[in-house]
A and B are shown apart, each in its own frame.
Chain A
Amino acid sequence: MGLTKSSTGSNLLANDLEFLKNDSDYVIALAGNPNVGKSTIFNNLTGMHQHTGNWPGKTVSNATGNCIYKNTNFLLVDIPGTYSILSNSEEEEIARDYICFGHPDCTIIVVDATCLERNLNLVFQTMDITNNIIVCVNLLDEAKKKKIHIDLKRLSDELGVPVVGTTARKKKTLNSLMDTVQKVCTHDIQPAPKKVIYNKYIEDGLSKIEKVLNAEFELSSDLCRWIALKLIDDEETIINSIEKNLSMSLSNNKNIQNITNEVHNDLEKNNIIKKHLKDFIVSDIMHKCETICGKVCIFEDENYSRRDRKIDKILTSKKFGIPIMLLFLAVIFWLTIVGSNYPSQALFSLFGWIQEKLLHLANFLHSPEWLSSMLISGVYQTLTWIIAVMLPPMAIFFPLFTILEDLGYLPRIAFNMDGFFKKCCCTR
């Protein structure tokens, strides 16, 4: 990908943040799956302009901005979207390191109301690291369109953390989010996450390792459990970054090595081999997500997704998929070219009229011939000509493209074209 750690800002950690924190009261992290509207929330709260877009992975590095709410200054950190923080891709590392070691006063996890189940996965993974979590159920308008109702109160009870519903595009809906953020920061609300209880053997192992960790280091109980989990999981990169950021030495500590090996042996006796450990952990989390979703999501219209599916079927069918796509693009280009003729012409005549006046003015001021011709017929004319030709098509093309994007047609194009792209790649 060509993104080095320094360029993506993954080392925007403790030191840098201390510096930024100076003039803000609290630091808030915005995490969540890709394409759930984190940057939209960030922009609306900070008034900044992070790129947003309807495809996953738009944001690749942490961005920070300030937001003042009720005389309190919050520093918001927009984290790249990830489905998980268990794995090791670049973005996940940035997200995980920030949530673990950046010490935000609270972490908002933005989830997509239209596919809550998949999104809860990250919520539970984050709960293993920190308690100060707020879950923000975004895209409520989309969910409403799809006739999905989510019982936010119940969700909050099930998770043990505050839950706020928002529609990020409407600024007003973000007030209750900031309200909750403030209350969590001032400890008026204390989230008490109901963490996932893993399979019995894993839990036994965890408590054994936790005991030793507690004896060796001074750690908060959440962090202890999380580090124990990582030791069982034997995640080298994560362990390395724990050692680096918390300046503790795990892999050289005899007691910890011994207990970890012991636990691994115990697990193996119960048919949990190290290689499959992650499957057990993930499926325990997934199972919990499934149960909770079953309780809080109400699908009011089973037919909706079927209707949606039908449209998809046409848009991606063998016969019509590609022709429809070409038709769409042709219409866009046609509208752009034909539609921009008129404003182009209008601009031409406007600029022409101004040019005449400018020449009069130059005569009136008795400016030398060479100067006025260079400035007016040279610089002015070329510049306005470029504007008249370029501006109208752009002003038409981009909004049209934005509409296509909002309709979610671009992923369908990608789906249609994937085969071709791959064929192209293979011939290289």
Chain B
Amino acid sequence: MTLNDLPLNTKGYIQNLNCNENIKRRLLDLGFVKGAPITPVLVSPSSDPRAFSIRGTLIAIRKEDANFINICFNS
């Protein structure tokens, strides 16, 4: 399942990043590494970018990018 399928306020763990090299690097820099816990905490009014709590910070990601991030429930 991808990050988009993760319901609000549920914790998931990053399994892998399934995207092109550039986006992948950016995400890695921000701490999206395998096994990192991540929780969606905010939705914008138009429901597109959602904000995620990861490593103690809040990061907003668009649906199209969140689609590349695979999630599982146990680390």
Binding site for B on A (CB under 8 A): 83-84, 86-88, 115, 117-118, 121, 278-279, 282-283, 286, 290, 293, 309, 312-313, 316-318, 321-322, 415-416, 418-420, 422
**Distance between Cα atoms of A316 and B60 in the complex (Å):** 12
Q: List 23 A-B contacts (CB under 8 A).
A: A83-B30, A87-B29, A88-B25, A117-B55, A117-B56, A118-B31, A118-B57, A278-B28, A282-B29, A313-B42, A316-B42, A316-B44, A318-B45, A321-B44, A415-B51, A416-B46, A418-B44, A418-B46, A418-B48, A419-B47, A419-B48, A419-B49, A422-B48
Instruction: Indicate whether A278 sits within 8 Å of B29 (C-beta atoms), given known contacts A118-B55, A316-B43, A416-B44.
Output: no
Instruction: Indicate whether A416 sits within 8 Å of B45 (C-beta atoms), given known contacts A115-B56, A279-B34.
Output: yes
Asked if residues B29 and A84 are in contact (CB atoms below 8 Å), the reply is yes
Closest 9 CB pairs of A and B: A419-B46, A84-B29, A83-B29, A419-B48, A283-B33, A321-B45, A87-B25, A115-B57, A282-B28
B35: chain A residues at CB < 8 Å are 283
**Distance between Cα atoms of A282 and B14 in the complex (Å):** 14
Binding site for A on B (CB under 8 A): 22, 25-26, 28-31, 33-36, 41-49, 51, 55-58, 60, 62
A83: chain B residues at CB < 8 Å are 26, 29-30
Tell me the number of A-to-B contacts counted with CB atoms below 8 Å: 83
Q: Name B64's closest neighbour in chain A (CB-CB).
A: A422
Q: Name B16's closest neighbour in chain A (CB-CB).
A: A279
A422: chain B residues at CB < 8 Å are 48, 62
B51: chain A residues at CB < 8 Å are 312, 316, 415
Asked if residues B26 and A87 are in contact (CB atoms below 8 Å), the reply is yes
Q: Name A323's closest neighbour in chain B (CB-CB).
A: B45
Q: Name A275's closest neighbour in chain B (CB-CB).
A: B21
Asked if residues A418 and B62 are in contact (CB atoms below 8 Å), the reply is yes
Q: Name B55's closest neighbour in chain A (CB-CB).
A: A117
Taking the closest CB of chain B, its distance from the CB of A147, in whole angstroms, is: 13
Q: Name A319's closest neighbour in chain B (CB-CB).
A: B45
A117: chain B residues at CB < 8 Å are 31, 55-56
A317: chain B residues at CB < 8 Å are 45
**Distance between Cα atoms of A322 and B47 in the complex (Å):** 12
Q: Name A318's closest neighbour in chain B (CB-CB).
A: B45
Asked if residues A286 and B46 are in contact (CB atoms below 8 Å), the reply is no
B56: chain A residues at CB < 8 Å are 115, 117-118, 293
**Distance between Cα atoms of A86 and B35 in the complex (Å):** 21
Q: Name B50's closest neighbour in chain A (CB-CB).
A: A415
Asked if residues A86 and B29 are in contact (CB atoms below 8 Å), the reply is yes
**Distance between Cα atoms of A283 and B27 in the complex (Å):** 12
Q: Name A125's closest neighbour in chain B (CB-CB).
A: B29
Asked if residues A86 and B25 are in contact (CB atoms below 8 Å), the reply is yes
Taking the closest CB of chain B, its distance from the CB of A126, in whole angstroms, is: 14
Asked if residues B45 and A419 are in contact (CB atoms below 8 Å), the reply is yes
Instruction: Indicate whether A419 sits within 8 Å of B44 (C-beta atoms), given known contacts A87-B25, A118-B56.
Output: yes
Asked if residues A415 and B49 are in contact (CB atoms below 8 Å), the reply is yes
Asked if residues A415 and B44 are in contact (CB atoms below 8 Å), the reply is yes
B60: chain A residues at CB < 8 Å are 415, 418
A290: chain B residues at CB < 8 Å are 55
A322: chain B residues at CB < 8 Å are 45
Asked if residues B28 and A318 are in contact (CB atoms below 8 Å), the reply is no
A279: chain B residues at CB < 8 Å are 28, 33-34
**Distance between Cα atoms of A312 and B43 in the complex (Å):** 10
A283: chain B residues at CB < 8 Å are 33-35
B44: chain A residues at CB < 8 Å are 316, 321, 415-416, 418-419
Contact for A420 among B26, B34, B46, CB less than 8 A? B46
**Distance between Cα atoms of A383 and B22 in the complex (Å):** 52
**Distance between Cα atoms of A220 and B58 in the complex (Å):** 40
**Distance between Cα atoms of A290 and B36 in the complex (Å):** 10
Q: Name B30's closest neighbour in chain A (CB-CB).
A: A83
**Distance between Cα atoms of A290 and B56 in the complex (Å):** 11
